[in-house]
Amino acid sequence: MKETHNFLILLSYFGMEFNGSAYQKDNDNTVENKLLENLYKLELIDNYDTPLSRVSRTDKGVSARINGINLRLNIKYENVPIFEIEKKYVKELKKKLKNIHIHDIKHVSNTFDARLNCIQRTYVYFFINKNYNIEKMKKAAKLFRIRPPGYHIADENGLLLYSFKFNDYKYNNHVNNKIFLNVMNKYIQSTMLLVSLCHPLKLENKNEDFFENLDDEDIKNDVIHNNMIKEINKK
């Protein structure tokens, strides 16, 4: 029986070249598919359905400056210190992968789980700045704020930079934890942009419908977004 150990793989990838990051049985052009394919070729895993856990999954076209995946890898080298094995695996994988960069591979405990043991995630969005109201967005971001503040919004050379950092254990009381855990950053992203885009409506009365000029009824009736708007419009 082969000896296996739990390893954490730290990687970056250029998302435009992939159909998302998570493994898909019917689509081999994902980050995890390519990673598993090459781990198999290197005889570090015995099959493609090797269980793994990732810090975060990303959609098609989304890049990651740093992400983490842990899984059990075969120990190919006998009588070699674990730190040397880590270096060998990094070197071997780097030669195989395209548009995926391996930063490091670390031996971790058997109980380590990249998703469950991650205590902080940072998401960064870039948009061409078409008169977004940055001050309004900053005000909205405070409603999601952790301590210390975990957001950054600014205009950098004509690009709207929006980054949001959150800790899984320290949510602001304004946010429903159960819902927040399920939708994570997607609600934050859409709310922030809606706040900015809707601001030019210049409501005469705070009780007016903030989304009256939007066609998306699902957004208009969304409880989370409506509660956000109430908080933003408070004196």
For the chain, 235 residues long, the average pLDDT of each consecutive 10-residue run is: 93 92 93 97 94 91 90 96 96 94 95 87 70 74 59 66 56 38 51 52 41 39 46 47
Say if 205 falls within a structural domain. Answer: yes
E strands, 31-158, where?
52-54, 64-74, 100-107, 120-128, 151-156
Q: 17 and 42 share a domain?
A: yes
Q: 228 and 129 share a domain?
A: yes
Say if 52 falls within a structural domain. Answer: yes
> What count of Cα atoms within 13 Å lies in the side-chain half-sphere of residue 170?
12
Handedness of CA 113, 19, 96, 33 (dihedral sign): positive
- Give residues with Cβ within 8 angstroms of 163, minimum separation 6: 122, 123, 124, 125, 151, 152, 153
In this structure, the dihedral spanned by the alpha carbons of residues 18, 22, 28 and 31, taken in order and rounded to 10 degrees, is: 50
pTM over 0.85: no
Say if 128 falls within a structural domain. Answer: yes
Q: 153 and 91 share a domain?
A: no
Structure tokens belonging to residue 137: 């967005």
Closest C-alpha among 183, 192, 177, 202 to residue 225:
192
* Residue pair 71/7 in contact by the 8 Å Cβ criterion: yes
What's the domain count of the chain? 2
Predicted local distance difference test score (pLDDT) of residue 202:
42
Q: 125 and 62 share a domain?
A: no
* Residue pair 115/60 in contact by the 8 Å Cβ criterion: no
Q: 162 and 205 share a domain?
A: yes
Predicted local distance difference test score (pLDDT) of residue 177:
37
Element (H or E) spanning 161, and its range? strand 159-167
CA distance linking residue 100 with residue 229, whole number of Å: 40
Domain range enclosing 216: 120-232
> What count of Cα atoms within 13 Å lies in the side-chain half-sphere of residue 211?
20
Q: What DSSP assignment string belongs to 27-62?
A: B--SHHHHHHHHHHHTTS-SSTT--EEES----TT-
* Residue pair 97/17 in contact by the 8 Å Cβ criterion: no
CA distance linking residue 177 with residue 174, whole number of Å: 9
DSSP single-letter state for residue 139: H
Domain end point (choices 58, 85, 107): 107
